[in-house]
Structure 1
Amino acid sequence: MNTSKLIALDADGVLLDYNLAYAGAWERAFGQRPALRNPQAYWAVERWGVPVLQGEALQRFRSSFDAQFWSTVPAIAGAVRACEKLVAAGYELVCVSALKPEFAQARQANLKALGFPIEKVMATSSEAANGRSPKAHALAQLRPVAFVDDFLPYFQGVPAQIHSALVLREPEGSPNHGAGLDAVHSSHSHLAQFADWWLAR
């Protein structure tokens, strides 16, 4: 039995609202905030009324995903309180994020500014290797009691003794379906629901 008091949490989609921040990045790059097209879309590019970019315009947009962007992503409603509840119950929290390592400090500053009781950010690759989650190695080292993410492929290869909790957010275009669900121990609509369920077990 895993008796760890450490819980690993994904950032974008669990702690932080990347999809909302995406609209801000677009506005920074092009001077106009995009209109909301589909609030039920999982992917930001499908949620907002934006065109497919190529060439110089694409490079311009990508350049706005800098340290300023990664240090100013807003919190998902209820996420800070959920973390506070877990910490009050004796758990330590770590953020395991598929983020370029050079932005880990910006992500840490972002979480701190928002009031999250999280002292450590581990940045991993975003690319799977041999069908294994890019987060699996970090999680095997950390050995948390639970890992919460909103992207089903990131549970592939995670040690079975770690409780895998999937956040099932916006359904349209979501990758969170199929055979991979068999490896998930629980699913929740958001982190606040996971925290209440976990503490009530």
Structure 2
Amino acid sequence: MSRPLIALDADGVLVDFHVGYAHAWQRAFGQFPAERDPQAYWPMDRWQVERLEGERLTHFGRHFDEQFWSTLPAMDGAVEACHRLQEAGFDLVCVSALEARHEAARLRNLRELGFPIERVHATGNASGTRSPKADAIEALRPLAFVDDYLPYLRGMPPEVHLALVTRAPNGSPNAGEDLRLARSIHQDLAGFADHWLQQLAR
């Protein structure tokens, strides 16, 4: 029999996009940016970087490449949290709003970091009132889905436990009426694992 499934977002839940952003800036412009606000939700607010446009923006964008998506560091406590969930009897899958061409790099990154994850579903980052991840969650039918971006909880199957990771609060989109979509709210993935396993033990 197949094991029950938990679906996890990557950036901000499993891996640290903010640190990766700073390294991409260093590769593009030769200097690791100073930190402006460690509690900023968006990386351009966390780091002391200029607002780019035109050719400089295009140049920076080229550094979000195979190297970038395959070398992001793990979020604190995330690898251990995943192993706890797996050891409790759950299989884990990553559902990421990533371009399909980077799916293999993302999986390689997760595996090299030691995450017990064998599948990545790259959904793309379409705008709209329904999450670009909703179709993947509909097909996978996990018991729970964990994301750090509240709008990506929209349009999900009602039977899936939707968990929101809040992490950095400054400038966060994780506020407002859509908070009712989250069945549980946590500071990080370790917090979700604590909650989920405590519920399981009852």
Under a length normalisation based on structure 1, what TM-score does the superposition of the two structures give? 0.97
Partner in structure 1 of residue 81 of structure 2:
82
Structure-2 change in CA distance of 1:144 and 1:4 (3 Å): farther
SS across alignment from 1:60: helix
Which aligned pairs between 1:45-194 and structure 2 lie closer than 5 A?
Answer: 45-129=44-128, 131-194=129-192
User: How many Å separate the matches in 2 of 1:44 and 1:155?
Assistant: 21
Structure 2, unpaired ranges of 5+: none
In structure 2, distance between residues paired with 1:173 and 1:19: 14
Aligned Cα root-mean-square deviation (Å): 1.1
| CA displacement at 1:42 relative to structure 2 | 0.1
Shift of 1:196: 1.1
**CA shift at 1:4, angstroms?**
6.9
Q: Secondary structure at the match of 1:94?
A: strand
Write the distance in 2 (CA, Å) between the matches of 1:196 and 1:98.
25
Letter in 1 for 2:100: P
Is contact 2:3-2:89 (8 Å) kept?
no
Deviation at 1:128, TM superposition (A): 3.1
Shift of 1:189: 0.3
2-side partners of 1:78 and 1:183: how far apart? Answer: 25
The answer to whether the 8 A contact 1:140-1:159 is kept is: yes
- Displacement of 1:111 in angstroms is 0.2
Q: In the TM superposition, what whole-angstrom CA distance separates every residue of 1:103-148 from its partner, at most 9, and x where no partner exists?
A: 000000000000000000000021233x100000000000000000
The C-alpha deviation readout for 1:123-182, integer Å capped at 9, x for no partner, is 0021233x1000000000000000000000000000110000000110111000000011
- May I ask how many residue pairs the two structures share in their alignment? 198
The amino acid across from 1:106 in the alignment is A
The alpha carbon displacement at 1:9 in A equals: 0.1
Distance (Å, rounded) in 2 between the aligned partners of 1:169 and 1:126: 21
Deviation track 1:11-51 (CA, whole Å, cap 9, x = no partner) reads 00000000111000000001100000011100000100000
1:40 aligns with 2:39: yes
- Residue deviations 1:43-68 (CA, integer Å, cap 9, x gap): 00010000011111111100000001
Q: Give how far 1:197 is off.
A: 1.0
Segments ≥4 residues shifted beyond 6 Å: none
Q: Provide the rounded CA distance (Å) in 2 between the counterparts of 1:143 and 1:128.
A: 22
Cα distance in 1 for partners of 2:12, 2:68 equals 16
In the aligned structure 2, how far is the partner of 1:183 from the partner of 1:22?
29
Which residue pairs with 1:28 in the alignment?
27
SS of residue matched to 1:106: helix
Q: State how far apart, in whole Å, the 1-side matches of 2:165 and 2:67 are.
A: 27
Percentage of identical aligned residues: 57
Opposite residue 166 of structure 2, the aligned amino acid is L
Tell me the distance in 2 between the aligned counterparts of 1:113 and 1:4: 23
